[in-house]
Chain A
């Protein structure tokens, strides 16, 4: 580690991971399920996108992975861990890439994150279940990932703007 974490940074991590976990849980509570597995909003991604912009890539990655691990330990099983992790890692990689090339706004980053999260989970399911047929869900999941991504991008964008303004005071 380059330098010691300050108390503020530790508090920030704790706050954001807790927030991401609460959002996952809220989403889990909303009885929103379609016939296709994997269609979801991904509320916790708001926190990851926010952290990516405001804190940095390492912080965002740590928050994303820790959230998945902690949620799985509490509510999931080993299989859920594989699905969640593959989605989270691919999603993070794509969002980081889109952010780095600096050609997309937070909405574009959100779309990339949402879509690649679903692709990651499908790839994982293909490997785990040993079937290619699951790719039939891909069109639905691409579109749902896009819609969710736009929503996440818009919300994260508002947050990035507001929280920044707050700090400048």
Chain B
């Protein structure tokens, strides 16, 4: 059937585009130097990744606990209902981010040197 064939072409096209974007973002990745935290689009703070620290973002009601350890940033605790930011795990490469939509918190990893491929293919 002609339509089935077109469906399959559409499917293949989407998957290829997804693979290309993924490949491109992976290739251009480099290890980050610091984490930039923004809340509701405004910069909340900048924290170097080489210093282990724990930051509480937000107030008593809406908060995210950001932990920086061994050059990686991770949200370990959050007040949001879905906890997606916690599940996103660690971020260490330039351009990686941890996003909490309910609290409008974005943790972005920035700067740093170009990573070697072993580090990318972890």
Contacts and interface: CB of A to CB of B under 8 A. Distances in A.
B14 A146 contact: yes
Interface in B7-65: 7, 10-11, 14-15, 17-19, 21-22, 25, 38, 41
A133 B95 contact: yes
B116 to A, nearest CB: 20
Nearest to A83: B101
A103 to B, nearest CB: 5
A88 interface: no
Most B CB atoms within 10 A — which of A104, A129, A146? A129
B31 to A, nearest CB: 16
A35 B101 contact: no
A35 B87 contact: yes
Interface string B94-109: 0111010110101010
Interface residues of A, number: 33
Contacts of B1: 105
A7 interface: no
B84 A142 contact: no
B70 interface: no
B24 to A, nearest CB: 9
Given A138-B18, A139-B18, A131 B4 contact: no
B18 A129 contact: no
A129 B41 CA distance: 5
A36 B100 CA distance: 10
Interface of B: 1-4, 6-7, 10-11, 14-15, 17-19, 21-22, 25, 38, 41, 82, 84, 87-89, 95-97, 99, 101-102, 104, 106, 108
Interface of A: 33-37, 79, 83, 103-105, 107-108, 111-112, 115, 125, 128-131, 133-136, 138-140, 142-143, 145-146, 150, 153
29 contacts: A33-B82, A79-B101, A79-B102, A104-B6, A105-B7, A107-B4, A108-B3, A108-B6, A108-B10, A111-B7, A111-B10, A111-B11, A111-B14, A115-B14, A128-B41, A129-B41, A129-B99, A129-B106, A130-B38, A131-B38, A131-B108, A133-B95, A133-B96, A133-B106, A139-B22, A146-B14, A146-B15, A146-B18, A153-B7
